[in-house]
Chain A
Amino acid sequence: MRRWVLAIAILAAAVCFFLGAQAQEVRQGHQTERISGSAGDVLEDDPVGRLKVYVYDLPSKYNKKLLKKDPRCLNHMFAAEIFMHRFLLSSAVRTFNPEEADWFYTPVYTTCDLTPSGLPLPFKSPRMMRSAIELIATNWPYWNRSEGADHFFVTPHDFGACFHYQEEKAIGRGILPLLQRATLVQTFGQKNHVCLKDGSITIPPYAPPQKMQAHLIPPDTPRSIFVYFRGLFYDTSNDPEGGYYARGARASVWENFKNNPLFDISTDHPPTYYEDMQRSVFCLCPLGWAPWSPRLVEAVVFGCIPVIIADDIVLPFADAIPWEEIGVFVAEEDVPKLDSILTSIPTDVILRKQRLLANPSMKQAMLFPQPAQAGDAFHQILNGLARKLPHGENVFLKPGERALNWTAGPVGDLKPW
């Protein structure tokens, strides 16, 4: 008799302990996690006092007039070029004395040239950029001092300063010769690519922060979607035969997993797109025409583990954001195995990634909010520029030394803008 009572008591205790542990686990699921001792802490650096930026005062035809002509420029993926300008104008790192500046910024909106349907096609960008550089080189002494090595430019187009929307042509063009010494701040990032030069700062594409904020749902909403993706699988208009678009990776996702009930993938863009990401465990971020897409930003902001399918991608602020720890990397050739790759990730690994993603500094670094906030993408750009200081010896040219060839590049680019 006593034995039974004892056994039951032990059983009850064990069960209570088990339940308690489980409840603990559930609570932990909502906690965030800091990445101590690794690069993650860099996100919280304050750039103020570590660098001074001089903003060239250009005629408004290089910036404000373009925006006035087409206000849609404020809403597309490349709007960072406009918001960065606005941010710097009122930033504490701005200096009005060019002599004490560490960096020079030329406010030129090269991607604010949209087709009637709203696509930014950078046909005029090279001439616009060239014209702006000629202007600053003649009116101020600072360009010629370094031929741009202490200047930075925001060039967020698909293939950055190669200024073409088709990869083949962009590669053929290469980076605009006049920008060869400058530091480029761009969304495009792929290793060993002519459109990505050493020392560039890769930034996230612009995603509208207020809009994303408006679609936030309670954080305890169950994540009932395992894998989520919305977007094109085939680009039949630009790649009718298939195989080029996304190097076939998106087509492979569709063909292999369209019938998998765990893969909520489709070309429809539902009104609940942002909400659905918040109830997904994994969000696919495959390459498209370029390796990056706004999904990277959306996934991080909405706490959905990004599954990055883009070989050799250079991710935004990769020196500060521990992408390896928050995301999952799948090689393009492994897409057919995506199901087993994702389902074999242990639960505790997934929970850890979710906790890291819940870290507000990670989300903040992906956004360009208005007005700017500490730790946001603007500040990460400044941090990146500050980390390049002090300038090396080769930044400033010796008297009489010339590095740039002003007549290099396609003849069409040399025409006045």
Chain B
Amino acid sequence: MASAGGCKKKTGNSRSRSPRSPVVLRRAMLHSSLCFLVGLLAGLAAPSDWPAAAGAAVFLRTLRASNVIFSRSSNRPQQPQLVVVVTTTEQSDDSERRAAGLTRTAHALRLVSPPLLWLVVEEAPAEKHAAPPTARLLRRTGVVHRHLLMKQGDDDFSMQISMRREQQRNVALRHIEDHRIAGVVLFGGLADIYDLRLLHHLRDIRTFGAWPVATVSAYERKVMVQGPLCINTSSSSVITRGWFDMDMDMAAGGERRAAADRPPPETLMEVGGFAFSSWMLWDPHRWDRFPLSDPDASQESVKFVQRVAVEEYNQSTTRGMPDSDCSQIMLWRIQTTL
């Protein structure tokens, strides 16, 4: 879209000058015809029916990804980092919204170059231990995914949604740990909408990365932006030095309240705002520093990750995303409480 817009503009500009310089006209015509061609091709190549086109394409993508991955052992040290996206799903009675959220996420992930692994966690009744509708949906997407099922206990309905979401994240982290899957892990929710730049730049993260998150509350007509404050010390290194909250009240005509700087969160960080390199899950040094005084938390990988995220903030080793000043919202989270 962006390139098409650029094309149009150029054509318009040149046309006004055309009587004076035919060279410019010629160039403009070349430009416009090239743009037309590109658009035509894009239209032709766009898969009208996703599964049919995906059949061979995904397969080839997988292959290409594999070649990239294994070139590490031979001679190319610069191989792309694996991106692991963990998506937790809401309660099972919410199947339409889950389908919508998964479809949207799948479309976003299809735009990310391989290698990418999508872990979708879902609760399933213990006796069935199956979730066929989701499995079917995921299969059609062509995204390299693993559908992890979590047994649903009897008492689960009384449990808070946030607790269950946390349990689901633990299931995914356990899978990553058991398999020692090395890559950058991003936690996603069904209501999350990604800026593609975030997905593209995730694999640049070496330890931690953080970015501004906008939480849109549909019913209160309010937007809350949370994110790291980044300071660009030199051309190469970006450090995060703080944390800000900003409310925008749409009801009051989009009035912005001043961004409130505050120190990094002290205990746990909201998982939507950061991604981390999975090796720290099995890094003994980090586990050593984990306070044993908190036995509940030490059992839970998610809490561990959130805590380490805070540590990383304080040590200023976190990478601001996607660029040096962390000024752009990379993730939109829509809060709907139906």
Complex Cα gap A350–B64 (Å): 13
Nearest CB in chain B to that of A354: its residue: B59
Taking CB atoms, residues of chain A closer than 8 Å to B29 are: 1, 4
Indicate if the CB atoms of B140 and A259 lie closer than 8 Å. Answer: no
Complex Cα gap A384–B313 (Å): 71
Cβ proximity bits B161-182 to A, threshold 8 Å, 1 near / 0 not: 0000000000000000011111
Which residues in chain B, 289-309, are within 8 Å of chain A measured between CB atoms?
none
Which residues in chain B, 23-80, are within 8 Å of chain A measured between CB atoms?
26, 29-30, 33-34, 37, 40-41, 44-45, 51-60, 62-63, 65-67, 69-70, 73
Indicate if the CB atoms of A226 and B62 lie closer than 8 Å. Answer: yes
Which residues in chain B, 71-96, are within 8 Å of chain A measured between CB atoms?
73, 82, 84
Are A224 and B143 CB-contacts (below 8 A) given A262-B66, A271-B130, A281-B62?
yes
Minimum distance in angstroms from A300 CB to a CB of chain B = 19
Complex Cα gap A343–B59 (Å): 12
Task: Let me know if A264 is at the binding interface, CB within 8 A.
Answer: yes
Task: Let me know if A392 is at the binding interface, CB within 8 A.
Answer: no
Question: Which listed residue, A258, A261, A272, A281, touches B59 by the CB 8 Å rule?
Answer: A281
Minimum distance in angstroms from B113 CB to a CB of chain A = 14
Task: Let me know if A15 is at the binding interface, CB within 8 A.
Answer: yes
Name the residue among B56, B132, B182 with the largest chain A CB count within 10 angstroms.
B56
* Number of B residues with CB within 8 Å of any CB on chain A: 54
Complex Cα gap A264–B144 (Å): 10
Task: Let me know if A12 is at the binding interface, CB within 8 A.
Answer: yes
Task: Let me know if B115 is at the binding interface, CB within 8 A.
Answer: yes
Task: Let me know if B15 is at the binding interface, CB within 8 A.
Answer: no
Indicate if the CB atoms of A261 and B37 lie closer than 8 Å. Answer: no
Complex Cα gap A167–B107 (Å): 51
Indicate if the CB atoms of A224 and B145 lie closer than 8 Å. Answer: yes
Indicate if the CB atoms of B142 and A272 lie closer than 8 Å. Answer: no
Task: Let me know if A390 is at the binding interface, CB within 8 A.
Answer: no
Nearest CB in chain B to that of A217: its residue: B139
Minimum distance in angstroms from A358 CB to a CB of chain B = 12
Task: Let me know if B329 is at the binding interface, CB within 8 A.
Answer: no
Indicate if the CB atoms of A343 and B70 lie closer than 8 Å. Answer: yes
Question: Which listed residue, A8, A261, A340, touches B117 by the CB 8 Å rule?
Answer: A261
Taking CB atoms, residues of chain B closer than 8 Å to A241 are: none
Question: Which listed residue, B51, B63, B130, B146, touches A347 by the CB 8 Å rule?
Answer: B63
Indicate if the CB atoms of B55 and A262 lie closer than 8 Å. Answer: no
Indicate if the CB atoms of A340 and B70 lie closer than 8 Å. Answer: yes
Are A26 and B56 CB-contacts (below 8 A) given A1-B26, A4-B30, A261-B181?
yes
Cβ proximity bits A4-36 to B, threshold 8 Å, 1 near / 0 not: 100010011001000100000110011000000
Nearest CB in chain B to that of A219: its residue: B55
Complex Cα gap A223–B140 (Å): 9
Nearest CB in chain B to that of A343: its residue: B66
Complex Cα gap A343–B70 (Å): 8
Indicate if the CB atoms of B41 and A15 lie closer than 8 Å. Answer: yes
Indicate if the CB atoms of B34 and A226 lie closer than 8 Å. Answer: no
Are A224 and B66 CB-contacts (below 8 A) given A1-B26, A12-B37, A19-B45?
no
Task: Let me know if B100 is at the binding interface, CB within 8 A.
Answer: no
Indicate if the CB atoms of B182 and A222 lie closer than 8 Å. Answer: no
Name the residue among A8, A217, A222, A272 with the largest chain B CB count within 10 angstroms.
A222
Task: Let me know if B209 is at the binding interface, CB within 8 A.
Answer: no
Taking CB atoms, residues of chain A closer than 8 Å to B53 are: 26
Task: Let me know if B149 is at the binding interface, CB within 8 A.
Answer: yes
Task: Let me know if A221 is at the binding interface, CB within 8 A.
Answer: yes
Which residues in chain A, 333-368, are within 8 Å of chain B measured between CB atoms?
339-340, 342-343, 347, 350
Are A25 and B56 CB-contacts (below 8 A) given A221-B51, A261-B115?
yes
Minimum distance in angstroms from A3 CB to a CB of chain B = 10
Complex Cα gap A143–B57 (Å): 60
Minimum distance in angstroms from A348 CB to a CB of chain B = 11
Are A347 and B60 CB-contacts (below 8 A) given A1-B26, A218-B51?
yes
Nearest CB in chain A to that of B138: its residue: A224
Task: Let me know if B273 is at the binding interface, CB within 8 A.
Answer: no
Question: Which listed residue, B37, B55, B66, B132, touches A15 by the CB 8 Å rule?
Answer: B37
Task: Let me know if A374 is at the binding interface, CB within 8 A.
Answer: no
Nearest CB in chain A to that of B68: its residue: A343
Name the residue among B59, B145, B149 with the largest chain A CB count within 10 angstroms.
B59
Complex Cα gap A303–B139 (Å): 16
Task: Let me know if A225 is at the binding interface, CB within 8 A.
Answer: yes
Cβ proximity bits A281-313 to B, threshold 8 Å, 1 near / 0 not: 100000000000000000000000000000000
Name the residue among A8, A261, A342 with the largest chain B CB count within 10 angstroms.
A261
Indicate if the CB atoms of A225 and B56 lie closer than 8 Å. Answer: no
Task: Let me know if B286 is at the binding interface, CB within 8 A.
Answer: no
Name the residue among B44, B63, B180 with the largest chain A CB count within 10 angstroms.
B63
Complex Cα gap A350–B179 (Å): 27
Question: Which listed residue, B60, B141, B144, B180, touches A225 by the CB 8 Å rule?
Answer: B144
Indicate if the CB atoms of B59 and A222 lie closer than 8 Å. Answer: yes
Complex Cα gap A255–B218 (Å): 48
Complex Cα gap A8–B38 (Å): 11
Minimum distance in angstroms from A33 CB to a CB of chain B = 16
Complex Cα gap A4–B30 (Å): 7
Indicate if the CB atoms of B63 and A4 lie closer than 8 Å. Answer: no
Complex Cα gap A220–B50 (Å): 10
Minimum distance in angstroms from A14 CB to a CB of chain B = 11
Taking CB atoms, residues of chain B closer than 8 Å to A258 are: 178-180
Taking CB atoms, residues of chain B closer than 8 Å to A220 are: 51-52, 55
Taking CB atoms, residues of chain A closer than 8 Å to B143 are: 224
Query: Can you list 30 residue pairs at the A/B interface with Cβ under 8 Å?
Result: A1-B26, A4-B30, A8-B33, A12-B37, A12-B40, A26-B52, A26-B55, A26-B57, A29-B56, A220-B51, A220-B52, A221-B51, A224-B141, A224-B142, A224-B145, A225-B144, A226-B62, A226-B63, A258-B180, A261-B115, A262-B66, A262-B144, A270-B149, A271-B128, A271-B129, A271-B130, A279-B139, A281-B62, A343-B70, A347-B60
Which 5 interchain pairs have the tightest Cβ spacing? A222-B142, A271-B130, A259-B180, A222-B58, A222-B54
User: 5 additional contacts, CB 8 Å, given A4-B33, A262-B62, A271-B132?
Assistant: A221-B51, A259-B179, A259-B182, A343-B66, A343-B69
